[in-house]
Structure 1
Amino acid sequence: MKRLAAVIIFWACAAFADGERAGEFDYYVLSLSWSPTWCAIEGEARDAEQCRRGAGSGWMLHGLWPQYERGWPSHCHSARMPPSRATTAAMADIMGSSGLAWYQWKKHGSCSGLSGADYYALARHAYESVNRPDVFRKLQDPVRLPARVVEEAFLKANPGWTADMLTITCRDGRIQEARLCLTRGLEPVPCGRDIARDCRLSDALFAPIR
């Protein structure tokens, strides 16, 4: 029993490292959140601006996350300058709010080895380099579809990507996020085993943009 407990503790620590040294990681995960899903699950209750009618929010930047081949660092000790309030607020156009931008810096950006301003600039560049499929902006009504359809749309819109570089996640029976794995130079790269876990739903709910 003691041996089993030790193994569980070891894997828990390996999967999530808190307070690690900044700049020590293997690759990035770029996470894009489908705004209608986030709004239905959390955002509406918060009266989030991106969830208001006419906001037009589709794939929003959730974060750019430093990643190990197994697990990830977070809340790293960094000597680099954090982002200013103005720089953080300027990320709201692609992240939905300055609050999320600040949270992402504290938890993930601090592990990048970059200053806050440079991390935000890199995250924006990564986000803008992805071709987000136009077909999803044309939806008029909610649909149910296999998660692999969303993956295939991203692969078609981004020649050069392969399926092992991208993961589609679900939450509460809905399409939640598209997660792309990138090198430090922002080139697509195969994901580690703990990231490559596609949603297996064949009838995931996909709601249209507001």
Structure 2
Amino acid sequence: MRWVSRAAAASVLSWLILLAGWTADAAADQRQNAPGAFDFYVLSLSWSPSFCAAAEERGNASRSQQTQCGGRSFSFVVHGLWPQYEHGFPDYCQRPAPRLDRRIMASMLDLMPAPGLIYSQWDKHGTCSGLSAQAYFETVRKARAAVKIPAEFVDLAAPKSVTADAIEEAFVKDNPGLSRSAIAVMCDRTRLSEVRICMNKDLQFRACEEIDRRACRRDQVVMPPVRGG
């Protein structure tokens, strides 16, 4: 009887856990992929030299990527501005996405130097903002303007080995109001890939525990130099 009671209790506990999961999923689904229904933004800044080095290793850089990885030098570029839930994120909130005007795309090439990236970011993330394309990319520009890139990363002339912690610290030092809980450094096996910064809808820095948990855990990462630096 004692064994049966434990089994029954375990069964009930498993059912309650499963029911809680269903309840949480149902609550999330009420606004899943609804344009404009999100909690905050993540501004993702890609370290362009790492992106280009990886593309060269794969040997499959697209024509769009060649704009970024050609002769002009780039350091941090905007990968995207992503609407987020406290847990998870929406994507592709309008299918098909409203067609992005080519003039809007061209206006963003100084920050996002690959046409294909701009189009894909609009389709996947911009449509979830609840904003028109013009307003969304104006918000991208404002978000980027709100972040100061530390001087040591602007014209990096030689490869740099650095800890993710040191990169975070440099950004926090140069951006008043930015806390360590609002920034996450991302990496691949060896290189810095991105810096992700969390912002409220009014583009003020804010903490984001889920984003921070996904940060790079390597002791050191390599920052390839800026091309032509």
Structure 1 match to 2:45: 32
1:52 equivalent to 2:52? Answer no
How big is the shift at 1:139?
A: 2.6
1:200 equivalent to 2:200? Answer no
How big is the shift at 1:95?
A: 0.6
**2-side partners of 1:86 and 1:35: how far apart?**
24
SS in 2 for 1:177: strand
**2-side partners of 1:122 and 1:78: how far apart?**
22
Of 67, 70, 75, 2:87 maps to: 70
How big is the shift at 1:45?
A: 3.7
Q: Which has the higher helix share?
A: 2
Identity %: 37
Q: Which has the higher strand share?
A: 1
How big is the shift at 1:19?
A: 7.1
**Deviations for 1:62-100, whole angstroms, at most 9, x for unmatched residues?**
000000000000000389955312111221211111211
Whether the aligned pair in 1 keeps the contact of 2:44 and 2:79 (CA below 8 Å) is yes
Of 199, 202, 218, 1:182 maps to: 199
SS in 2 for 1:93: coil
**1-side partners of 2:108 and 2:32: how far apart?**
25
Q: Amino acid of the residue matched to residue 128 of structure 1?
A: A
The structure-2 alpha-carbon separation of the partners of 1:61 and 1:23, relative to structure 1 and needing over 3 Å to count, comes to same
**1-side partners of 2:109 and 2:60: how far apart?**
19
Q: Amino acid of the residue matched to residue 114 of structure 2?
A: S
How big is the shift at 1:31?
A: 0.3
Q: Which runs of 5+ in 1 are unaligned?
A: none
The structure-2 alpha-carbon separation of the partners of 1:100 and 1:80, relative to structure 1 and needing over 3 Å to count, comes to closer
SS in 1 for 2:196: strand
Whether the aligned pair in 2 keeps the contact of 1:142 and 1:208 (CA below 8 Å) is yes
- TM-score of the two chains, using structure 2 as the length reference: 0.79
Total equivalences in the alignment: 202
**1-side partners of 2:155 and 2:146: how far apart?**
21
Greater radius of gyration (CA): 2
**1-side partners of 2:97 and 2:53: how far apart?**
37
- 1:60-99 matches, within 5 Å, as 60-77=77-94, 82-99=99-116
Q: Which runs of 5+ in 2 are unaligned?
A: 1-13
Name which of structure 1's ranges 97-106 and 187-196 shifts more when overlaid on structure 2: 187-196
**2-side partners of 1:196 and 1:166: how far apart?**
10
RMSD (CA atoms): 2.7
- TM-score of the two chains, using structure 1 as the length reference: 0.86
